[in-house]
């Protein structure tokens, strides 16, 4: 197996190990408050994985992951609030709608790179949030939309989210191993070269946007059923910041970085909030430092340090500017 495929496999296995640990946690953690925290961590993990697919693996730096979560959230929320439809209809609808919007967005921005792409997706996200905040006749604006619960116990949500996260990770792994994975990474590393080698850039970028959007959408939908309220705060730029922080701190372009990063960010956030410190300040600082000095994130750092003990070849510290793995 080539170095990169081996790495991906090991990252995937490591992430499975981590998720298995998470599955066992409720044995010790019986406080519903903490279980709730982990559910929120898994929500962020899903967004982080989705964003990592788009940005870390396909090189498309979208600033709209939380916008898609908001789309999913309000799809199921509005269907429940205005038409009384059950979440069994609402959640699949959320997936469909966010996938379709993702596809549309991908198709529309395929020509844009780097800063232009970031700005356009940011503009899209801001317009959406603004509309949701102000169309209060439909969305109840800032007060939020009451959303029916799915279960009575936090544990049920816990395992539902975990199952989803597991499914998404597995799906992502299979995709990365397939030719699709090669195409996406080729696009990330050098789009012109990929196109010249016959990769249908438009199609694969659109695919990445669609899948990423769909994952964010279902995460958002499940989240609001858990929180029993949908508010435009979901799509706020600071939430996007948390998603970015999770991926960057954990390790961008790896299979395990986003997941562990999300848990770290959420749990640490709570602890900071508990002692009254501004957690965003800390995370923003961490993001700057890590991107500046440790591009590979914590996972990359640990792999570097553990190299003597592991069989796999280390991921070389990629100097900024050089492509390839």
75/296 with CB nearer other proteins: 296
84/321 with CB nearer other proteins: 321
Phi-psi region at 59: left, alpha or beta (left = phi > 0; alpha = psi -120 to 50): left
Cβ–Cβ under 8 Å, residues 142 and 133: yes
**How far apart are the C-alpha atoms of 98 and 92, rounded to whole Å?**
10
**How far apart are the C-alpha atoms of 293 and 70, rounded to whole Å?**
33
Report the nearest approach of other proteins to the CB of residue 207 (Å): 20
99/262 with CB nearer other proteins: 262
Report the nearest approach of other proteins to the CB of residue 161 (Å): 15
Lookup: tokens for 56: 């870390």
133/177 with CB nearer other proteins: 133
Residue 176: name the closest of 188, 160, 190 by CA.
Answer: 188
Report the nearest approach of other proteins to the CB of residue 113 (Å): 7
6/174 with CB nearer other proteins: 6
Report the nearest approach of other proteins to the CB of residue 219 (Å): 15
49/244 with CB nearer other proteins: 244
Residue 298: name the closest of 253, 245, 261 by CA.
Answer: 261
6/108 with CB nearer other proteins: 108
Report the nearest approach of other proteins to the CB of residue 206 (Å): 15
Report the nearest approach of other proteins to the CB of residue 315 (Å): 14
- CA distances (Å), 224 to each of 94, 115, 189, 195, 202, in order? 12, 32, 36, 40, 33
Cβ–Cβ under 8 Å, residues 247 and 261: yes
Report the nearest approach of other proteins to the CB of residue 110 (Å): 11
92/189 with CB nearer other proteins: 189
**How far apart are the C-alpha atoms of 56 and 188, rounded to whole Å?**
8
Report the nearest approach of other proteins to the CB of residue 258 (Å): 13
Phi-psi region at 220: left, alpha or beta (left = phi > 0; alpha = psi -120 to 50): alpha
Report the nearest approach of other proteins to the CB of residue 256 (Å): 8
35/92 with CB nearer other proteins: 35
**How far apart are the C-alpha atoms of 57 and 173, rounded to whole Å?**
12
């Amino acid at each position: 197996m080539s170095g990169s495929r081996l790495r991906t496999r090991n990252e995937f296995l490591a992430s499975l190990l981590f998720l298995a640990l998470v599955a066992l946690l409720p044995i010790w953690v019986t406080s519903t408050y903490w279980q709730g925290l982990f559910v929120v961590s898994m929500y962020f993990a899903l967004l982080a994985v989705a964003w990592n697919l788009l940005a870390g693996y396909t090189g498309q730096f979208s600033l709209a992951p939380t916008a898609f979560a908001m789309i999913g959230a309000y799809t199921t929320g509005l269907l429940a609030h205005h038409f009384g439809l059950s979440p069994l209809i609402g959640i699949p609808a959320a997936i469909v709608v966010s996938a379709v919007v993702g596809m549309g967005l991908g198709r529309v921005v395929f020509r844009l790179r780097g800063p232009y792409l970031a700005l356009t997706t940011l503009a899209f996200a801001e317009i959406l949030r603004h509309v949701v905040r102000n169309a209060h006749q439909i969305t109840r604006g800032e007060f939020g939309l009451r959303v029916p619960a799915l279960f009575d116990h936090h544990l049920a949500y816990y395992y539902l989210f975990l199952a989803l996260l597991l499914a998404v990770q597995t799906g992502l792994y299979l995709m990365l191993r397939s030719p699709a994975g090669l195409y996406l990474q080729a696009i990330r590393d050098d789009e012109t070269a990929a196109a010249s080698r016959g990769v249908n850039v438009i199609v694969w970028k659109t695919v990445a946007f669609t899948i990423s959007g769909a994952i964010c959408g279902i995460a958002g939908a499940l989240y609001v059923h858990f929180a029993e309220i949908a508010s435009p705060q979901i799509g706020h730029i600071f939430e996007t910041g948390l998603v970015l922080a999770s991926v960057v701190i954990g390790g961008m372009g790896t299979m395990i970085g986003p997941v562990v990063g999300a848990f770290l960010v959420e749990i640490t956030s709570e602890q900071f909030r508990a002692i009254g410190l501004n957690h965003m300040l800390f995370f923003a600082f961490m993001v700057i430092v890590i991107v500046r000095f440790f591009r590979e994130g914590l996972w990359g750092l640990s792999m570097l340090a553990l190299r003597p003990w592991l069989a796999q070849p280390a991921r070389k510290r990629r100097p900024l500017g050089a492509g390839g793995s």
